[in-house]
Copies of this chain bind each other. A is one copy, B any other.
Amino acid sequence: MARAHWGCCPWLVLLCACAWGHPKPADLGGQDVRNCSTNPPYLPVTVVNTTVSLTALRQQMQTQNLSAYIIPDTDAHMNEYIGQHDERRAWITGFTGSAGTAVVTMKKAAVWTDSRYWTQAERQMDCNWELHKEVGTTPIVTWLLTEIPAGGCVGFDPFLLSIDTWESYNLALQGSNRQLVSITTNLVDLVWGSERPPVPNQPIYALQEAFTGSTWQEKVSGVRSQMQKHQKAPTAVLLSALEETAWLFNLRASDIPYNPFFYSYTLLTDSSIRLFANKSRFSSEILSYLNSSCTGPMCVQIEDYSQVRDSIQAYALGDVRIWIGTSYTMYGIYEVIPKEKLVTDTYSPVMMTKAVKNSKEQALLKASHVRDAVAVIRYLVWLEKNVPKGTVDEFSGAELVDKFRGGTGLEAQTPEVLPPRHSLPLLSPTKELNRKLSSDEMYLLDSGGQYWDGTTDITRTVHWGTPSAFQKEAYTRVLIGNIDLSRLIFPAATSGRMVEAFARRALWDAGLNYGHGTGHGIGNFLCVHEWPVGFQSNNIAMAKGMFTSIEPGYYKDGEFGIRLEDVALVVEAKTKYPGSYLTFEVVSFVPYDRNLIDVSLLSPEHLQYLNRYYQTIREKVGPELQRRQLLEEFKWLQQHTEPLAARAPDTASWASMLVVSTLAILIWSV
């Protein structure tokens, strides 16, 4: 299955829907979804029978004296994508969507999920389960208050609730005479037993020096220096997010689908470095790289992953202060540290440092985007030629762009360990997956690659036939949004949230909008959605050296979808009057679809920006195409980056211009 691989581009699953024209959820008809109101209920073949496992879970709940048990959709590290052995909610409910919380009481069982998954849930869940079409802790607690008796206990696995989520449940239950009970042994795991997939165990490897911005020793010293400068003088930093440990030590593995991480925690103290992971996964070479045979302040001691809670609790007995990023720390760690020994920030110093790329990291990420542009352009050229033949289906097309990414030339430097890369525009295994593409529809490709030097993410939307006037208008408004945000000049330390509306204004103006975020940070062979950079309320302020995607879109339900996504580097802006201002430098280098641009909607400033961007694409990607003798692609690039001209004035203004200029001529003749 595609999700078992990593090195792929998992964000495709979330964001992309490639060629539109799929039937709307409402059109699916009764034969695809369950009907629990008939006797016997109608259950499609896609439904999983959960009666046995639910009975077993309730026995475990009874043993623990619980009235209810919460089964979240996350893992112990707040990973965006989780391993199969962590898919407890999917296993117990049958519902495999990536978002949704389950709660089981002694009599009922229910799932809360958002509109993306309502149909899927009705196809996969049997009638043991209620479907609640809401999200957040409030509706869950409201339901719990009616379902469980006063005095009842609500159990949860403390490693599956973040501090914030726990606080939200706790606050909502306050004064209700129902109690939250933390149980470190996961009850679903007890029921799952030997059927549960094993925890990944592949080797953990170190990145070559050419692909790292700093050595791990430099990074450790940098974090310790921040500890020393901190007014609360923390004695240790605890890292819970897998990308934090991977980044700190320049180590990678493949535990998490699409993200090159391994299960781990790090407790970096002022005098020691304690890495919690499965020790058998480190080769002697890597152990030596980590100085793991010594015990000094620059020696990494490997401790067992399962020991982290006990070890933190033991460390917290001393005269210590542990610095955590609350966003990525689970309640299971938080609850064993006395509050007065906690130093809390939203994000750990490693998250904050990683967000700003140094000059070497910037150069690496930029280089990966030039090669990635070659792959995307090759794919677009191939589609343009082959879609009209009616032989291209979504799956084979996606395999091809993946192949092109594999041929971008970086392997020549690192042939032996280059991880597999895939780019699937739609991974859900539905019968529509292999639908043939045609020239009569819009095609949205949101894809990216994991390269040694950088992670890429780009979306282009194309139409090979004759788009409707509305499709062109919507596309052009999305493009204006992309341009308006990309060329914005803003004060240093402005938060993305304050400026993301510039990507929406042109759509809003016509009564259009999109329902997703406008961008996210991106890593150097790390997360494709790298927090805390981006345009949402929980993102940090923009700073020079950060990378973010800029990706407005528009989606006409059941008809077509548009998204134009570029990755951009935050750089200093030169302003007329001196000041500390920033702007974006786009590092994705694939032209937009001329066939979909309504030039009459663009201002002279938009055209100027676009033509300058096209010139940059020619300069960056042209030589790479020529070097690789991709002459057809080179020609395509030249055609698609021809400067766009302003529209001819419409008749009315043409006439008024004539009047004015004729007067001018008369005056001149005087």
Interface residues of A (CB under 8 A from B): 138, 142, 174-176, 231, 321, 338-342, 488-491, 494, 497-502, 505, 508-513, 575-579, 581, 603, 654, 657-658, 660-662, 664-665
Contact = CB atoms under 8 A, between A and B. Distances in A.
B488 A505 contact: yes
B665 A658 contact: yes
Given A508-B581, A511-B575, 9 more contacts: A174-B342, A175-B321, A175-B340, A488-B508, A489-B508, A490-B508, A501-B502, A512-B579, A603-B603
Contact of A501 (B499, B577, B657): B499
Contacts of A176: 340
A636 B489 CA distance: 39
A275 to B, nearest CB: 26
18 contacts: A138-B231, A174-B342, A175-B338, A176-B340, A488-B505, A489-B508, A490-B501, A491-B508, A497-B498, A498-B498, A501-B502, A510-B575, A511-B576, A512-B577, A512-B579, A658-B661, A661-B662, A662-B665
A513 B489 contact: no
Nearest to A139: B231
A175 B497 CA distance: 34
B341 A175 contact: yes
This chain's copy number in the assembly: 2
Contacts of A341: 175
B511 A340 contact: no
Given A339-B174, A511-B579, A654 B658 contact: no
Contact of A175 (B175, B339, B499, B502): B339
A494 to B, nearest CB: 8
Contact of A657 (B342, B510, B512, B657): B657
Nearest to A664: B658
Nearest to A173: B340
Nearest to A231: B142
A445 to B, nearest CB: 26
Contacts of A578: 511
Contact of A577 (B175, B338, B510): B510
Contacts of A500: 498
A271 B543 CA distance: 55
A661 B657 CA distance: 7
A664 B657 CA distance: 10
Contacts of A660: 657, 661
Nearest to A661: B661
A537 to B, nearest CB: 9
Contacts of A581: 508, 511
Contacts of A489: 508-509, 511
Scoring A176, A321, A490 by chain B CB atoms within 10 A of each residue's CB, the highest score goes to A490
Contacts of A339: 174-175
Contacts of A664: 654, 658
A508 B511 CA distance: 27
5 tightest Cβ-Cβ pairs between the two chains A and B: A511-B575, A175-B340, A661-B661, A511-B577, A511-B579
Contacts of A577: 510-512
Contacts of A321: 175
A571 to B, nearest CB: 15
Given A499-B501, A501-B502, A576 B508 contact: no
Nearest to A510: B576
A613 to B, nearest CB: 18
A174 B511 CA distance: 49
Interface hub of A142, A494, A512, A661 (most chain B Cβ within 10 A): A661
A34 B661 CA distance: 68
A575 B502 contact: no
- Residue of A142, A498, A578 most packed against chain B (CB within 10 A): A498
A513 to B, nearest CB: 6
A489 B507 CA distance: 9
Contacts of A512: 577, 579
B509 A575 contact: yes
